[in-house]
Chains A and B, each alone.
Chain A
Amino acid sequence: MDPVDIGLWGVPLAILAGAIRVSTPFLFVSLGECLTERSGRINLGLEGTLIFGAMSGYAIAYETGSPFLGVAAAALAGVVFGLFHGWVCKFKGVNDIAIGIALMLLGTGLAFFFGKPYIQPVAPKLPSISLGGWSDVPQVQAALQVNVLFLFGAVLAVFLWWMFRATRVGLVIRVVGDSSDAARAMGLNADRVRLLSTAAGGAFAGIAGAYLSLYYPGSWNEGVSSGQGLMAVALVIFARWNPINCFWAALLFGGAGALGPALQSVGVSEGYYLFFAAPYVLTLGLLIATSSPERAMQGAPAELSITK
């Protein structure tokens, strides 16, 4: 496949390719954070979970030769981090935001500690599906290489949306997230619901990490995450706590992140670094535009500490 000169068409194509490739970790980590926040708790520690997931996923994939076992191990590690976060937050006077920051530090530290021997070895990669076979242009074919986890994430987004809307589990999570008092009146154990929601959210963040180390960029090193886990918190606000919107927001963030490199590839290098700030500026702008000192944000779970 020789590259064909497609001129400026390369820019939107590169953004699309970037959106599909880069968005998957954003998607998983934001779905996880969305689930946790819907139950009324915030987990800032997903960055640590994501990095630990990237390391453990890579290590297990290397040791067993199966990338899917790696993804499973990463999800399991995420569950452990989520359970720990949920357990600690149960105590009176413990701040969930601060615990998140602490677990981010701890998760990152543990990942770097145990990940040292896995920087050199090469683990098997996750497979992808070519959806661009209809095109003769190699760039289009490359852009439409879709990883299985991306598709799984899209299905998961729809599933979560349906779960919140139409199932008893979804209702329980929503009630707990909107009012601890109402939950108590219904005989629900709010702490247990939050514990399980945080654990499931951690599992998704772990999978997001495994995608980073097992597909794109596809290796384990200490710089594999560039804040995707932290961005999840902003992304969920951006998506108004709606899983379907999480999917679109993740695509948007992925595409915005690809803008700089795409423009550079056609010779526009002015402001290369500024484009990295694009998703953050976007989120901050949206936060400013939609926040109000008088009322909570639309769509936000009422028990959430950051929107009160």
Chain B
Amino acid sequence: MPRLLRAPALSVVVPRSEGLLIPLAALLAGSLAFSLFLLMVGKSPLAFFGLVWTAGFSTAFSWQNTLSQVSPLMFAALCVALPARLGLVVIGGEGAIVLGGLAAAVAGTVAVGWSPTMGLGLMALSAMAIGGGWIATVGALRIKRGVNETIASLLMAYIAIALFNHLVEGPFRDPASLNKPSTLPLAESLRVGEMPFISAHWGVLVGIVACIACWVLIERTTLGFAARIAGDNLRAAQVQGLPVGKLVIGFTALGGAFAGLAGFFEVAAVHGSANGSLIAGYGYTGILVAFLARHNPLAIIPVAILLGGFAASSGLIQRRMDLPDATILVFQGMIFVAILLSETAYGRFRIFTPAYWEGR
């Protein structure tokens, strides 16, 4: 075959297209499997995807619905993606979200009468410190004691939720909250408002900035380079004298801090106090977002928007198609399986190598 592509396209586009086309193909395969499922239960896949488009992405109003879901998903996904760069599978981000939200709510009661900047700053910092410390513990246990991070983070998520229930039910409970135990409501000045022109709170913008910053950290700094080496081969990195322990604790702390920030925005922008609504499973959907994005922080942004749109369309699908609310969960599960299965396709197709296009 003659030489089809020239140097820039060859060295830039071809190697990268694999990381884009394979996940897209997997997304398509997952959607096809789900379409078959819908046909089997006697529903129209076209109607389903049409409604996802209508309710998630078609109008300004549907974009508001979608964006309202996106902010916690981005932060929760960062909590998975950052440790993943070091080869760690951390799945307990939910715990950091919940405790971060509680820390923000408690800090808010301390900061009554402060200026909004100072007050919100204290709240956000408390949330990040608690969330970061929580997940950094997972990293530290891995490094110091060899405790598996997946299991440890999972156990700690359950412990966090029990701790949260205990504190919201007891020491930090607002006596006025009767049926639904909550912390004291935040002062109006300590609420995070909406951004101008779009009805989505500032957490969306902060999340996008955080994703970009993490991408720069991983792809463009020596620190990120060291982390990627450690993620490829931990032993080799240790032999090379890289500070693997500090990297692991630093990356888990950063990931946890973002999860804590998700809790902060849920409390300060959405709920107004810490209560059971915080335990909404964003930590677990975040795992899916991170894997779909192949742990690339930049890719987290569109993936979180896509999954946010699915979540936002759930209500309309229930009403219009007479389907249970778990339909979206089935859809997510099928996509997740397809994405993980597609991992096996990397490096198998010669079409993604420059050699193929050079005619060799």
Contacts and interface: CB of A to CB of B under 8 A. Distances in A.
Given A110-B330, A112-B326, A306-B151, A288 B341 contact: no
Nearest to A297: B146
Given A88-B341, A97-B89, A291-B146, A281 B159 contact: yes
Size bracket of the B interface: 35 or more
B342 to A, nearest CB: 9
B54 interface: no
A233 B151 contact: yes
Contacts of B213: none
A49 interface: no
Nearest to B148: A306
B163 A274 contact: yes
Nearest to A116: B324
Nearest to B145: A291
Contacts of A234: 151, 154-155
Interface string B317-357: 00000011111111111101101110110100000000000
Contacts of B91: 101
Contacts of B163: 273-274, 277
A30 B288 CA distance: 26
Interface in B91-141: 91, 141
A293 B162 contact: no
Nearest to A277: B162
Contact of B336 (A102, A272, A273, A292): A102
Contacts of B331: 109
A19 interface: no
B154 A292 contact: no
Q: Is the interface of A mostly helix, strand, loop or mixed?
A: helix
A127 interface: no
Contacts of A91: 341, 343-344
B333 A105 contact: yes
Contact of A280 (B155, B288, B329): B155
B152 A284 contact: yes
B145 A293 contact: yes
A103 B144 contact: no
Residue of A91, A106, A227, A237 contacting most chain B CB atoms (<10 Å): A106
Contacts of A110: 326, 330, 333
Contacts of A245: none
Interface in A187-243: 227, 230, 233-234, 237
A88 B337 contact: yes
B341 A307 contact: no
A234 B287 CA distance: 20
B20 interface: no
B62 interface: no
Interface of A: 44, 88, 91-95, 97-99, 101-103, 105-113, 116, 227, 230, 233-234, 237, 271-274, 276-277, 280-281, 283-284, 287-288, 291-294, 306-307
Given A108-B329, A112-B329, A113-B327, 9 more contacts: A93-B343, A94-B344, A97-B150, A105-B333, A106-B337, A109-B326, A280-B162, A291-B148, A293-B143
29 contacts: A91-B344, A93-B344, A94-B341, A97-B89, A98-B340, A106-B334, A106-B337, A108-B329, A109-B326, A109-B332, A113-B323, A113-B326, A113-B330, A116-B324, A227-B158, A237-B151, A273-B162, A273-B165, A273-B166, A276-B165, A277-B159, A281-B159, A283-B155, A284-B156, A287-B148, A287-B155, A292-B145, A292-B146, A293-B144
